[in-house]
Amino acid sequence: MHDASFDVRSVLNLNKQLAAADGNMVLEGARARQSKAFFQKLLIYALLLCGTIIMILPFLWMISASLKPNNDVFEFPIRWIPKVIQWDNYVDIWKKIDFLLYYKNTIWLTLVVMFNSLVTSSLAAYAFAKIPFPERKALFLLYVMTMAVPFQVIMIPQFVILKNLGLNDTLWSLVLLQSFSPLGVFLIRQAFMGIPNELSESARIDGLSEFGIYSRIMLPLSKPALSTFAIFQFVFVWNDFLGPLIYLTSDRNKTIQLGIRKFITQYGVEYGLVMAASVCALLPVIVMYVIFQKSFIQGIATTGLKG
């Protein structure tokens, strides 16, 4: 009887030791996985930090150069904080050229084109996404394929057409050309495709028109995609140089990008003024992105490739 109780205790002690060993192994495994996950996150954050520094360095150099005299802009090694901060560069850009006029022209052109693009692209996207008609997918594919056509191929025919229409050397020529965007149609259509058809069908049964469905259901549910496209279009029009260079000749119609070019002459380049003007031209783009950052990220994440 004594031997039997001794054997039972031995077995129980052995089971406890095995359970403790298994627990230690599980705990060590969990710690190893946590350590591995920590180092993976640390590596990812380090790579992201390096990428951020690489991308932001040119902007920091531009700001630094905008506060230097012209002769100190390209000094090596780079002096990130100027010896003498020359704030006059930010004053001279408004005095030496009509920078305010160019700013107004660019703001007007950008806002008008952005609004028109949102309207035309969202209407076309609604038709391609929710209204069945013959060869809908084929027409959509052909329209999107126009994104692959380089601007240099069509700029001469476009110039001839606009000249015959009497729109040459007017901001309306750029409005007409840039108010239709295949990229916008593609992005917004993908957002519309993610909205269940049952919503539009129920609205039709209740007597709502197609324009009512578009304005009351589709647009409110697609704000992230609309914000994403608005940012894309804003940045494109604001930074466009080739279009205004081709279609705008008089000084009263020029945009910021053409205005900055005035600091580059046959006698030299005023690099400090160019950088100061570039900083001023960059501010609206930064403000636009900061305002719509959340919607922009959400729009990129939700506009997937849906059939």
pLDDT digits (tens, 9 = 90+) for 190-201: 888 888 888 888
Say how far apart CA 77 and CA 99 lie, in whole Å. Answer: 32
Q: What is the mean pLDDT of residues 48-63?
A: 88
pLDDT, position 112: 94
Other beta carbons within 10 angstroms of residue 13's beta carbon come to 10
Q: Which two tokens stand for residue 108?
A: 């007007």
Look at the chain and report how many structural domains it folds into. Answer: 2
Residue 305 pLDDT more than 50? Answer: no
Residues composing the chain: 307
Same-domain pairing of 60 and 92: no
Domain range enclosing 177:
88-302
pLDDT, position 85: 83
**Placement of tokens 């959509």 in the chain:** 140
265: in domain: yes
Q: Which two tokens stand for residue 124?
A: 């076309």
In contact, 130 and 219? CB cutoff 8 Å: no
80: in domain: no
pLDDT digits (tens, 9 = 90+) for 91-142: 888 888 888 999 999 999 999 999 999 999 999 999 898 888 888 888 988 9
Burial class (CB in 10 A: 0-12, 13-18, 19+), 237: buried
262: in domain: yes
Q: Which two tokens stand for residue 131?
A: 């209204």
Say how far apart CA 16 and CA 29 lie, in whole Å. Answer: 20
Instruction: Give Dmax (Cα) for the chain.
Output: 115
Say how far apart CA 258 and CA 15 lie, in whole Å. Answer: 83
pTM: 0.77
Cα 186-187-193 angle, rounded to 5 deg: 85
Percentage of the chain exceeding pLDDT 90: 11
226: in domain: yes
